[in-house]
A and B are shown apart, each in its own frame.
Chain A
Amino acid sequence: MAKPSFLGLLLIAPALIMIGALFLYPLGFSLAAAFTEPGGGLSLTHFQKAYELYSTDILFTLFIVVVSTLLTGLFSIVIAGILTLSETPWLIATLRNLYRWPLFIPFIVAAQCMRTFLAKNGLMNNSFVALGLMEPIQTTSFLDWRGIIITFVWKQVPFVTLMLAGAMASIDRATIEAGRNLGASRLRVLVELVLPQVAQTLLVGLVLSFVTMLSVLSVPMMVAGSQPTMLTVDMAFRINSYGDYATANALGVISYFMAGTVAWIYLRHNVKREVQA
């Protein structure tokens, strides 16, 4: 093994310092603050308060993010599968041109659009009414948990699809051809031949989506009312209205815990694969 050169260390020093100063230090600080009581000793009082005030919101956040991640995975597999296996050229061309658009739209803009699109008398319901599919009295507002999930899925599907379609394009086509020649349906080829080969990429995409959705503030704030709401909104409220960083930090630790769990699943999977290889 080569000795670490001084010059090499110097080269990565700026990056290390940035990570240390802008990420590790604040992370450690907020972790410490979450477990420290006003007097200075270690305590769980902030977690107790976070639980008393926001236990519903913690479950709500978990529910929203898990459901959104599963739906994102499902839609991404369908779109990427069509792009890879479909034999209808115009369908592929249309899908390929359309599916990336939401990637370029920020969460806050998406939230603003959904706010008028999904409202009770919003664009979507008004279109249904105008088409005669619905009576005005039957319309319901989707501006609650469903609105958040719809926005998240709409926003994250292109991201995961982009990764997944790329991975599917690079697998050995011979495996697909072989399956088709032996009479397997395209669905069976997708599920039994293609998906196992790209499962790793799918997992990465979904883990990244999970963590992204966990941290979005604008969507739950703008799309849904505040009861129940996601942890990001509660954290912002604790800080903005009370300057109560301790409880906000406790909520943050709970978020780290959720994100950490999926990261752990991902890492474990990765290590297992490396051991096999």
Chain B
Amino acid sequence: MRNSLMAAGLAAFLMTNAASAQTLNVATAGDQNMVDYIKDYLGPMFEKSHPGVKVVAVGTGPGDGGSQKIFEKLDAQKKAGANSDFDVVVIHQKAAGTMAQDGLIQKYRDALPTGALVTRDTATNALGTDVTGYVMPMFHSQTAIAYNPDLVKNPPGTYAELRDWAKQNPKQFGYNGIKGGMSGVAFVTGWVSAFGGDAAKLEKGPYDAATKATWDKAMADLKAFNQNVVITPGNAGTLDMLNRGEIAMGPVWVDMFYTWKADGKLPPNMRLKLVSPGMPGQPMYYAIPAKTAQNKLAADFIALATSPDVQAEGIVKRFNWYPGIDAKNLQGKLDQAAWNQLFADIPPDALAANGKPFPIGPYFNDILETYEKKVAN
């Protein structure tokens, strides 16, 4: 009895030891599709090219809250002087800026073979913070208004038209507030950019704490607007309600929309519209914690993830995101049909004109807090 117990203990010890030597822990913020992407697609591919390595994907939750959890863990481990037990982190823009400033992530992009393939300015600027070298965009995503063409013949083209439409069609527009994921947050920041005055200042700065006083009218209008709409439980909640025909319109992430459509969880006739003056989109970033035992493996993993082949097949074709690296590197890797599919409802020129970044960090926080104070409460 005793011997078998000891043997079992020894075996367990050996197993954990063997596992920890070759496990790459990838922590990702965002919805379940982010975890699925790493667990079902990228992880197995990396394990195949690196025999003996096991990729473990951990999801930390949707929205900036997910990134905040990664930040807290890295911050605590740094203060304790320990190696972080995440080897690769996938984070939102707001957290990336803070982590780069606090030295929680390392500068690795210049040494990465795919580092030069990135051209968009989001690779160097995360909501007003310089993150050059610290991050590699995994993809870009965009929010837009999804609508059911059976119920909405002429979808509104601007925020102002949308506001009038919601008044004429009470409880037919739904969004998830600001606590249930980023599509609702995007809708709200888009609203403030549209009705709150100086939109360019929100995106570029400089920050002026007095600016939020100028949003009072926009926020009061939003409160009135909320009387006529449905508040849904989460990003997926909006899509669920669209699917069941309970609402006719609502803000969604473009990638989730296409994925749900492909999975048959949304009727195939659903359409998207990117209203002007614009709605925000954002990249997710790959980053490597400042102190990790698996530096080399982590860099290899990100190099694979940002290679043109993976960006074409995984990011664009399977998960319907816009590529993180410059799209011209994907030429020849992707058939025309898949490419057209990505731009079916939102053509590239509309994306360029109405796809906006989120406001810079301090304005972003001000918008959310003013929303809680003036609209939700």
Contact = CB atoms under 8 A, between A and B. Distances in A.
A121 B245 contact: yes
Interface stretch (B11-19, B136-144, B251-259, B369-377): B369-377
Contacts of A119: 240-241, 244, 246
B64 interface: yes
B179 A224 contact: no
B246 A120 contact: yes
A241 interface: yes
B71 A243 contact: yes
Contacts of A226: 176-180, 231, 233, 376
Interface string A167-210: 00000000000000000000000000000000000000000000
Given A227-B226, A240-B61, A53 B372 contact: yes
Counting chain B CB atoms within 10 Å of each CB, which of A120, A121, A223, A226 scores highest?
Answer: A226
Interface in B331-377: 365, 368-369, 372-373, 376-377
B246 A121 contact: yes
Contact of A122 (B244, B365, B369): B244
B246 A141 contact: yes
Interface in B220-247: 226, 230-233, 237, 240-241, 244-246
B96 to A, nearest CB: 15
Contacts of A266: none
Contacts of B179: 226, 229, 233-234, 237, 241
A161 B71 CA distance: 45
Counting chain A CB atoms within 10 Å of each CB, which of B61, B64, B372 scores highest?
Answer: B372
Contacts of A223: 233
Contacts of B72: 243
Contacts of B237: 225
A141 to B, nearest CB: 6
Given A119-B246, A120-B246, A121-B245, A224 B69 contact: no
B376 A56 contact: yes
B19 to A, nearest CB: 29
Q: Is the interface of A mostly helix, strand, loop or mixed?
A: helix
A234 to B, nearest CB: 8
B63 interface: yes
Contacts of A221: 180, 233
Contact of A240 (B68, B231, B369, B377): B68
A222 interface: yes
A56 B377 contact: yes
Given A121-B246, A225-B230, A227-B231, A240 B177 contact: no
A74 to B, nearest CB: 28
Interface in B167-198: 176-180
Contacts of A143: 233
Contacts of B245: 121
A46 interface: no
B314 interface: no
A155 interface: no
B231 A242 contact: no
A243 B70 CA distance: 11
B267 interface: no
A55 interface: yes
A87 interface: no
Contact of B232 (A53, A54, A225, A233): A225
21 contacts: A52-B377, A53-B372, A53-B377, A119-B246, A120-B244, A121-B244, A221-B180, A221-B233, A224-B233, A225-B176, A225-B177, A225-B233, A225-B237, A226-B376, A227-B177, A227-B231, A228-B376, A233-B179, A237-B179, A240-B68, A243-B68
Given A56-B377, A119-B244, 15 more contacts: A53-B373, A115-B233, A119-B241, A119-B246, A120-B244, A221-B233, A223-B233, A226-B177, A226-B376, A229-B179, A236-B65, A239-B68, A240-B63, A240-B69, A241-B368
Interface of B: 61, 63-66, 68-69, 71-72, 176-180, 226, 230-233, 237, 240-241, 244-246, 365, 368-369, 372-373, 376-377
8 cross-chain pairs, A with B, having the tightest CB-CB distances, nearest first: A240-B65, A225-B231, A226-B177, A226-B179, A121-B244, A120-B246, A53-B372, A237-B179
